[in-house]
Amino acid sequence: MSRFILPDDQLPTAWFNLLPRLDSPLDPPLHPGTREPVGPDDLAPLFPMALIMREMSAEPWIDIPGEVLDILKLWRPTPLVRAERLEAELGTPARIYFKDESVSPAGSHKPNTAVPQAFYNKQEGIARLSTETGAGQWGSSLSFACAQFGLECMVYMVRASYEQKPYRKAMMELWGGHVVPSPVDDPDSPGSLGAAISDAVRDCVQRDDTHYALGSVLNHVLLHQTIIGLEAKEQLAMAGESGPDVVLGSCGGGSNLGGISFPFVPDEDVRLVAVEPSSCPTLTEGRFEYDFGDVAGMTPLMPMYTLGHDFMPPSIHAGGLRYHGDSPIISKLVRDGRMEAVAYPQGKVFEAAVQFARVEGKIAAPETAHAIRAAIDEALAAKETGEERVILFNYSGHGHLDLSAYDDFVHGRLIEA
């Protein structure tokens, strides 16, 4: 027995809200013009009120609407898998579990929040959503979600990815999304996530029928992802474990990491680890301060670790981790010492992904491969000390549309970054 499947009727029906459980309150976002705390009305041009109210909610649990559950059930609950063949290859006494979020329509955890975001916008009479996407995971997830509720979806895709990843664009269009390269006003620029956010926000504020949707960073986004950790907790119990010793996730904006780790924050003995790329080391080398979420400075200022909103990371394959900032909640957990952070260069990351693919048969997204690298290193550390450590990591997405990255690695063409 190496896969643990939660029965369909045990799908969580409420999200886990970490905000009221934090040791001290989160500092508020500030208005980009006045630098005063933003109120709900300031955000109303961008988001539906149902999501805005979740940004600072004090409710410990938030019910998941039935219409959202009906769609999540297409792929949830997702499997928890014990990587026994990897354990044997490493010769470790550790038990390695991963939560398989790659089974969703778009192939990652992103639809977990795309679906409720589309739902709440539809409920408030919005007809169209605009968004940005880097590698394309988020844009394809939102396109899928919009198709479920009959919303139009406008995606500003970082130009470098738009040109390198035609398959992701095809996936978005298959689900009815419209995709244009960003920045829209500079066809010579390769673009960045921060610049694409500016394009999407600009689109939104110019049209009454349109709201903006963000795939990470914000509190309500991470809230929607907590379904991952809630399921994993139940599944570890099915596996006979009293709990994990360490929970790992790759970290760009923080949504897959927050999703798997937040339900474990109250369990004080559980170590939580963010894994990021050395080339975009927000948590390990950034400063904790108020900064914009986008390049143009149109979003509220958020209290977070940041490399500066004009930081331009190198073009590593893990496009989803190329973000200058980080979720304010994740940032606070790291600053408060509740969460650790480590960084790896991409060569070490792909080495781990290839080892995993050979023994476990699964080809991971480059983003996910960061968590695999750290999980393997945790297992090897347990081997050194002879500990029976229980390791849980988030297998946040598959790499079926990232095989050119593996091709570069296998043939020695990967840039070291």
CA distance 228 to 76: 9
- For the bound state, the minimum distance from the C-beta of residue 38 to its own copies, rounded and expressed in Å, comes to 35
Q: In the complex with its own copies, which residue's Cβ is closer, 317 or 324? A: 317
User: Could you tell me which stretch among 51-59, 203-211, 338-346, 395-403 binds its own copies (CB under 8 A)?
Assistant: 395-403
Among 73, 207, 287, 413, binds its own copies (CB under 8 A): 73
- For the bound state, the minimum distance from the C-beta of residue 166 to its own copies, rounded and expressed in Å, comes to 7
Among 80, 157, 171, 371, binds its own copies (CB under 8 A): 171
DSSP string, 131-173: EEESSSHHHHHHHHHHHHHT-EEEEEEEHHHHHH-HHHHHHHH
DSSP string, 64-90: PPHHHHHHHTTT-SPPEEE-HHHHHHH
CA distance 16 to 350: 33
Among 103, 127, 184, 296, binds its own copies (CB under 8 A): 103
Q: Does residue 403 touch its own copies according to CB under 8 A?
A: yes
Give me the helix-helix angle, 346-360 and 403-410, nearest 10°.
100
Binding map of its own copies across residues 356-385, x = CB under 8 A, - = no contact: -xx-xxxx----------------------
Lookup: tokens for 360: 């476990």
CB atoms within 10 A of CB 125: 8
Among 92, 104, 235, 368, binds its own copies (CB under 8 A): 104
CA distance 296 to 278: 25
For residue 366, the surrounding DSSP H or E stretch is helix 366-385
**How many chain residues bind its own copies (CB under 8 A)?**
43
Residues 6+ apart with CB under 8 A from 415: 314, 315, 316, 346
CA distance 150 to 368: 31
Q: Does residue 170 touch its own copies according to CB under 8 A?
A: yes
User: Could you tell me which stretch among 98-106, 185-193, 206-214, 380-388 binds its own copies (CB under 8 A)?
Assistant: 98-106
- For the bound state, the minimum distance from the C-beta of residue 15 to its own copies, rounded and expressed in Å, comes to 21
Lookup: tokens for 406: 């593996």
Q: Does residue 2 touch its own copies according to CB under 8 A?
A: yes
Q: In the complex with its own copies, which residue's Cβ is closer, 240 or 361? A: 361
Contacting residues toward its own copies, per CB under 8 A: 1-3, 5, 8-9, 73-75, 85, 103-105, 107, 111, 144, 147, 166-171, 173-176, 354, 357-358, 360-363, 398, 400-401, 403-404, 406-407, 410-411
